[in-house]
Each structure stands twice: as structure tokens, then as C-alpha cells.
């Protein structure tokens, strides 16, 4: 007969030390995982910050153990109830734990350390270039750049000593839902890549007054409410021009052999870099479209928010990857600055390629009408790639709820180029749609 008490004991995670909270069931699942990567996330109030702190504190009894916890900015760390503030409230009754307010580091009696950091600027990751951790945690990871997240893997290691041999190497993250790289990494790619996702809801957290908090969430717009109340990672605003079910995603091997296709890489150059004044700027987006026999195949979408030198490098590298046979087109902004940009690209960035500007005609909604008609008739196929989800989120919220429309506009332009639809013909389509 099975000894259920031993089985139950085995299934329990290692206890987080100096923690005044009893882990919930979902937090225990998170703490029990020894996979390298795990995400704890979902609804607001699901106990995400506490779960990260608990995970970091599981091994503070091991000499030499080091952990670091990140938020996007220092202000995010130090807000009342936020990650560092909560940690300090947990350890305040333990004088044996020494807190260094200059380095944001707590040293435990075992000599283990937990440090807090932030990754606001593009070079902040360099502060940790020579550091070594066994645990890296990121709270509200959807606000952190993917490059910074991936870089921190290089800091996760342990020296060859017996004390740390039993400590698992862990990258842990927590967040409310957002339709960005985190969703792709954990919810889409996660199962086959061995990345663990532990969903958490408001009802999973006994430490919060659920009814009153749920009433507060009722005031949110529908999409944000679905994300924060129900933990819905795929909730997006719905527009009226494009439906998700009208797009077919095919594997690269399913693209047929084309005899004389029309092809173009079209760039929307509206992007700029993230700054304190503009925290959510537009993107520079480049769409590669192949078209034959009435069917368009969206082969690739590339987009960035960078300064001009980085954008020039991206356009140059993408042109080399596409090959000289792929024409490159870009929307020319009106005025002297638009002409100057086009001239600079033709001379210095894509010299030797078929590169021409395209003058925009009509507004973005009008330009998208022919594309919308083709999509509705099943004539636009998306080739599977890491860009699919963010592209679909954007285009299916266009034009009513969209925050950014750079991918939509680039594809609408590309479709006009390969089909030869002029401004006059576009107005005809607008009447028909």
C-alpha cells in the first residue's frame, strides 16, 4: 500500500525561508519546478511577486548562493507593495539579515545574497556582465526587453563546490498577460521547449480581498479586464476590417513552387526608439510578400524600434538575406526630408538593389481596403514564423483599437505593389468592400 504521507512530502517544494506567507497551491507548483525556465502569471492579484520572492528565498540557507530579482525601473522595485518593498517587509524582523541600501543587497547568515536590479536603459544589463547567479527572477517580465532577458542566462552558473551542487539553476519570471514575446516564448513555444507556465488567478491568492479587488477590475476596458481578471493572454482589441479566422498559417514547406511570382520587401519607416518621453513609439516594419495567381504569401515580417544607424543596419542585412532579386520599396514621406532619406538609403544602405520610393495616396484605412478584400476571400497566407502572433494581434485590431499599425501599413503597401493597384483602383475597392 502506498505511503501517501511520504508521497505528499515528496511533492512539497523546498520551504522558502524567512517568508511570512503560506504558499498557495499554484505557488507551490511554481516552487516545486526544477526546470531551468518557468513563468508564473495571469490575473492581477494572483500572487506573482510573492511567488518570485519565495522562489528566490528557497536556498538562502546554502553558503555562496546568489539570486537577483529585476523590475524594469528602480521606481517599479520600490513602490509600496512592489517587489523590493515587500521583501524588506518580510525580513525586517530578522536582524541577522543585513541589508545594504546602496547595492540593494540582502546578506543572510549563511553568506547567501539576494540582490535587486533594474533594466530600464539599453545598457543596464552591462552592470551584471561579470556577475554570477544561481537564480534570476524578473517581475512583470512583459515590460522587459527580450534581449535583456536572454542575456541574463549567461549569468546563471555555479562554481564547483559541494554546497551549491544541490541548488538548481533557475530563470524565473512573473507577469500579467501581454501580447508580446513572453506569450510566444512560454505559451506558444513553451511546451516543446521545456518552459513551464504556471497560470494564476485572483482566486488562487488567499492573501487578498478578492471581492473588493474584483469590483475594482470592473472599471477597466474589456480587453484589459480580460487580461487582468481572467488572465487571458490572447485577449486583444477587435477591429472591423480583418478577422483572425480569415488568415491561414502555413508551414514554409507548404509554399508552392511558383513560376513567375511578384515579390517585394516593403518598409514602413515610421519607427523610433523608446524614450522617457515616448515609451511606446511606432515601429519600423518590413514585410516580405510573394504573389502569384491571386494568392499572396507573407513570408516574413521584421520590425524594430531603434535609432537610425540600427535601422539602416537592419535594412541592409535584410536585403542581403532576401537577395538582390527581391525589390525593396519604401513609403516616401512628403517634403525634403522624405526625399533626403530615400536618397541616403539608395546611395549608402541598399546600393545595388532594386530600391524605389512609393508615394502614399489616401489614408491608411483606404490603403488597407484591397488587402482586406483579399484576406476575406482567403487569398492571403501567412508563413509560420515567430512574428505571426504579434502581426495577427495588430491587424485584427485595425483600425478601431490598434495602438500600432506599422505592420498593417507595410503589408497594405506591399500588396498594392505586387498587384499593381493604383489609388483610383483602391477607391473602387473601397466602394465594394
pLDDT at 429: 34
Q: Which of 36-45, 163-172, 357-366 has the highest mean pLDDT?
A: 163-172
Task: Output b/e per residue, 144-162; b: 16+ Cβ within 10 A.
Answer: bbeebbeebeebbebeeee
pLDDT at 249: 92
Please state, in angstroms and as integers, the Cα–Cα distance from residue 385 to each residue in 221, 259, 307, following that order.
31, 24, 25
Assign 427 a pLDDT band (cuts: 50, 70, 90): very low
Burial-class residue 272 by CB neighbours within 10 Å (0-12, 13-18, 19+).
middle
Which residue, 172, 171, 166, 164, is CA-closest to 65?
164
pLDDT at 390: 87
Contact between 376 and 432 under an 8 Å Cβ cutoff? The reply is: no
Q: For residue 307, is pLDDT > 70?
A: yes
pLDDT at 419: 92
Residues 6+ apart with CB under 8 A from 80: none
pLDDT at 133: 96
Give me the mean pLDDT over the 84-113 stretch.
Answer: 95
19-230 and 244-432 agree in CATH topology = no
Angle between helices 210-217 and 222-230 (to 10 degrees): 160
Topology (CATH) of 19-230 = Rossmann fold (3.40.50)
Domain limits, the chain = 19-230, 244-432
Give me the mean pLDDT over the 217-237 stretch.
Answer: 64
At which residue does the C-alpha cell 481572467 appear? Answer: 230
Q: Is the dihedral of CA 14, 18, 23, 29 positive or negative?
A: negative
Predicted confidence (pLDDT) per residue in 272-306, tens digit: 787 777 878 889 999 999 999 999 999 999 999 88
pLDDT at 1: 45
Topology (CATH) of 244-432 = Nucleotidyltransferase; domain 5 (3.30.420)
Assign 270 a pLDDT band (cuts: 50, 70, 90): confident
Predicted confidence (pLDDT) per residue in 125-145, tens digit: 999 988 999 999 999 998 999
Contact between 296 and 418 under an 8 Å Cβ cutoff? The reply is: yes
pLDDT at 8: 54
Amino acid at each position: 500500500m502506498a505511503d501517501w504521507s511520504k508521497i505528499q512530502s515528496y511533492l512539497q517544494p523546498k520551504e522558502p525561508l524567512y517568508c511570512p506567507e503560506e504558499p498557495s497551491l499554484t505557488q507551490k507548483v511554481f516552487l516545486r519546478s526544477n526546470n531551468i525556465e518557468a513563468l508564473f502569471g495571469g490575473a492581477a492579484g494572483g500572487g506573482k511577486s510573492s511567488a518570485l520572492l519565495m522562489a528566490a528565498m528557497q536556498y538562502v540557507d546554502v553558503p555562496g548562493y546568489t539570486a537577483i530579482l529585476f523590475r524594469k525601473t528602480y521606481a517599479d522595485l520600490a513602490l509600496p507593495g512592489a517587489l523590493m518593498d515587500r521583501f524588506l517587509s518580510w525580513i525586517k524582523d530578522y536582524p541577522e539579515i543585513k541589508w545594504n541600501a546602496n547595492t540593494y543587497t540582502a546578506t543572510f547568515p549563511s553568506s547567501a545574497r539576494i540582490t535587486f536590479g533594474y533594466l530600464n536603459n539599453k545598457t543596464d544589463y552591462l552592470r551584471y556582465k561579470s556577475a554570477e547567479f544561481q537564480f534570476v527572477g524578473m517581475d512583470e517580465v512583459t515590460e522587459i526587453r527580450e534581449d535583456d532577458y536572454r542575456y541574463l542566462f549567461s549569468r546563471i552558473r555555479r562554481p564547483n563546490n559541494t554546497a551549491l551542487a544541490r541548488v538548481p539553476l533557475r530563470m524565473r519570471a512573473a507577469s500579467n498577460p501581454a501580447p508580446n514575446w513572453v506569450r510566444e516564448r512560454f505559451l506558444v513555444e513553451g511546451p516543446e521547449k521545456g518552459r513551464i507556465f504556471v497560470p494564476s488567478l485572483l482566486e488562487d491568492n488567499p492573501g487578498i480581498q478578492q471581492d473588493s479587488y474584483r469590483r475594482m477590475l470592473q472599471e477597466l476596458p474589456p480587453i484589459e479586464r480580460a487580461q487582468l481578471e481572467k488572465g487571458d493572454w490572447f485577449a486583444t482589441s477587435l477591429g472591423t476590417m480583418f478577422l483572425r479566422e480569415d488568415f491561414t498559417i502555413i508551414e514554409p514547406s507548404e509554399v508552392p513552387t511558383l513560376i513567375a511570382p511578384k515579390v517585394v520587401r516593403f518598409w514602413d519607416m515610421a519607427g523610433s526608439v523608446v524614450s522617457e518621453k515616448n515609451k511606446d513609439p511606432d515601429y519600423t516594419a518590413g514585410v516580405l510578400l510573394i504573389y502569384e495567381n491571386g494568392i499572396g504569401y507573407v513570408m516574413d515580417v521584421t520590425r524594430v524600434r531603434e535609432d537610425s544607424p540600427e535601422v539602416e543596419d537592419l535594412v541592409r542585412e535584410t536585403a542581403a538575406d532576401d537577395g538582390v532579386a527581391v525589390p525593396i520599396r519604401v513609403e516616401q514621406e512628403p517634403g525634403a526630408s522624405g526625399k533626403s532619406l530615400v536618397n541616403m538609403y539608395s546611395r549608402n544602405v541598399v546600393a545595388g538593389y532594386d530600391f524605389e520610393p512609393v508615394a502614399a495616396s489616401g489614408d491608411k484605412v483606404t490603403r488597407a481596403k484591397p488587402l482586406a478584400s483579399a484576406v476575406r476571400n482567403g487569398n492571403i497566407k501567412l508563413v509560420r514564423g515567430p512574428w505571426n502572433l504579434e502581426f495577427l494581434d495588430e491587424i485584427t485590431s485595425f483600425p478601431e483599437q490598434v495602438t500600432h499599425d506599422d505592420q498593417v501599413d507595410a503589408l497594405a503597401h506591399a500588396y498594392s505593389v505586387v498587384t499593381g493597384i493604383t489609388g483610383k483602383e483602391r477607391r473602387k475597392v473601397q466602394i465594394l468592400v
